A and B are shown apart, each in its own frame.
Chain A
Amino acid sequence: MNPLDKPYAQLALAVLAVLVLPLFLKSGILATEILIFAMVVAACNLLLGYTGLLSFGQGIFFGIGTYAAGICLTRWQIPVPVVLASAAVLGAATATLVGWLSIRRQGVYFVMLTLAFSQLFYFVAYTFSGVTGGDNGLLGVPRPSVGGTALNAPWSYYTYVAVCFVAVFAILVMVTQSTFGRTLLAIRENEGRAAAIGFPTKLFKLEAFAISGAVTAFGGALHAMLIGVAPLSNIEYHTSELILIMTIIGGSSSLFGSVLGAGFYLLLADALSTVWPRWLLLLGLVLVTVALFLQRGLWGLVERGYDLVFRRERAPETPAEEH
């Protein structure tokens, strides 16, 4: 195993990312957005990389968290930590429901089901505009306050999110290292065998969904406070797609790969959008390149780089993973 894949190395890299972003970025908003998506993408990775479940439902949970924050903070003055916790619980509950119905089918049909739920929840949010604000979303979502002062400056909210990010990332590292996480890997590898040696595999998949949903909704709530709006776009199918793309770019074999994936995508999108209005086209080309030449994502690149620099003897090629 590459030393960079060790749990403490992963955690150290996450802390490093938090410290390095302010040095290189002018925009505190962008830096905060990167951290929010980094945890959301890592949660998607728990399903894709560790459990082998390609879920198009991540946008649902993100949107649920966004609305939970929007509704709680604009209608009632509930303290932010309570809002974040409720968003996570609601996200876990929704993910359990979506997961419970989706894991009844495998492969393409599973993916189809999560996609269908993603559309369904979008239309529900669109239809019940009395609650969600419909197309306009919920405006005027306040930032949290610490010690009586609202964190309205971008970098002070960044600090708040950074603390949340490191905590969430540490939890996800713990989950993947636990006997639970290692059982997920076994289920991804060979579900039939996992069942034959006694694991109720559906229950494990459900729990993975619940954890993933909790983190994703938590991130969605942080996002609403970042941009001051709970927009309809956060629960759109497009958000699910975005999260999945970041996960795949980052590489699904490591949690920190997800941080790289989120950072890479958002920074590139930011840079390209100032260069050319049709920047999505360029982004498409980048994605094609990654899919063709970087099957293990950016993390695979990091691992190879590490081996080149620190190890004389060539590590044996790991076979490309199929997704």
Chain B
Amino acid sequence: MTDIALQTRGLGVKYGNFHALAEVDLQIRRNSVHSIIGPNGACKTTLFHALTGRVRASSGRIELDGRDITDTSDDDRVRLGIARSFQVTSLFPNLALRENLRLAAQGRTPWQALAPWRRAEANAEALAIADEVIERLALAPVSNRLAGELSHGQQRRLEVGMAMAARPRVILLDEPTSGMGIDDIEAMKQLIRDLGRDHTVLFIEHNMGIVMNISDMVTVMRLGRKLVEGPPAQVRDDPEVQRAYLGNMITGDIA
């Protein structure tokens, strides 16, 4: 196997006649933490949609571990090892937190779930994964509450947990800290760094403190194209990046 977990070549996405994403070449190294930054509307989320198969690529190709997955459906890609969290929290609000995670763990082997006589509890592995994720995210006290009744911070953590429960090789996190309080942000930063040990992490983030601290590599996007790419320190000092952000957004320091 190569050192590259996920790779795109000339990736483009069109929404109708609008060329959103264009000519994106990405190489995500295995077990690295790779962040995507860029101003609002830079097509960061669109890039994630294309990588996970929610929207179809209109040009270019996507490879996972050297295998072409450009035309693979979104649910098939989960089985191949890609999972994601959403920028706008997307849970099953009327189901319990634990059930949300059990489903996410079951999603890896969905054919089992087609048997209408099989009990959900029969899949002990899915339950164990759900409990493990609950433990890791410190959500045990609320694990039986409905997802829709959780606080915003808890919902954001669960959102990330949904991606973790799929046991992916590549995990895509879309602004995992958005709307979180200070303490939660710090915990999330630790978590993402930890995830980088046994997953390949690709994450979109506006909080430069986190980006500059825990990324191995940073890709800056603007207007649907890749602007600059490199290690955090190099990206931070790049004049083009300073201009793209009008100099006012990169504030975090490298610890």
Q: Which residues of A contact B (CB under 8 A)?
A: 174-175, 177-183, 185-186, 189-190, 192-201, 203-204, 207, 211
Contact = CB atoms under 8 A, between A and B. Distances in A.
B91 A199 contact: no
Sorted from nearest, which 7 A-B pairs have the closest CB atoms?
A: A198-B107, A198-B78, A197-B107, A179-B120, A189-B92, A175-B116, A180-B116
A197 B97 CA distance: 15
Interface in B35-75: 52, 54, 73-75
Contacts of A198: 75, 78-79, 107-108, 110, 166
A292 B169 CA distance: 50
Contact of B106 (A183, A189, A196, A203): A183
15 contacts: A178-B116, A178-B118, A178-B120, A179-B115, A179-B122, A180-B113, A180-B118, A182-B120, A186-B95, A189-B92, A193-B92, A194-B92, A195-B54, A204-B113, A211-B116
A179 B104 contact: no
A203 B118 CA distance: 17
A179 B113 contact: yes
A contact patch SS:
helix
Nearest to A211: B116
B116 A197 contact: no
Contacts of B123: 179
A310 to B, nearest CB: 21
Given A179-B120, A192-B90, A204 B74 contact: no
A256 to B, nearest CB: 19
B110 A178 contact: no
Interface string B78-113: 110001101000111111000100011011101011
A193 B91 contact: yes
Contacts of A195: 54, 74-75
Nearest to B126: A179
Contacts of A182: 99, 103, 120
B95 A178 contact: no
B90 A203 contact: no
A104 to B, nearest CB: 15
Contact of A190 (B52, B90, B119, B166): B90
A204 B113 CA distance: 9
Given A179-B118, A207-B116, A193 B162 contact: yes
Contacts of B79: 198
B116 A199 contact: no
Contact of A196 (B78, B112, B117, B122): B78
A96 B79 CA distance: 26
Nearest to A318: B94
B108 A179 contact: no
A186 B92 contact: yes
* Residue picked from B86, B113, B114, B119, most chain A C-beta under 10 Å: B113
Contacts of B107: 194, 197-199
Given A189-B95, A200-B75, A207-B116, 8 more contacts: A175-B117, A177-B120, A178-B116, A178-B118, A180-B113, A185-B92, A196-B83, A197-B165
Nearest to B102: A182
Nearest to B52: A196
Nearest to B115: A180
Contacts of B91: 190, 193
Interface string B108-150: 1010111111111011000000000000000000000000000
A183 B103 contact: yes
Contacts of A192: 54, 90
A207 B114 contact: yes
Contact of B90 (A178, A179, A193): A193
A177 B79 CA distance: 25
A178 to B, nearest CB: 5
Contacts of A203: 114
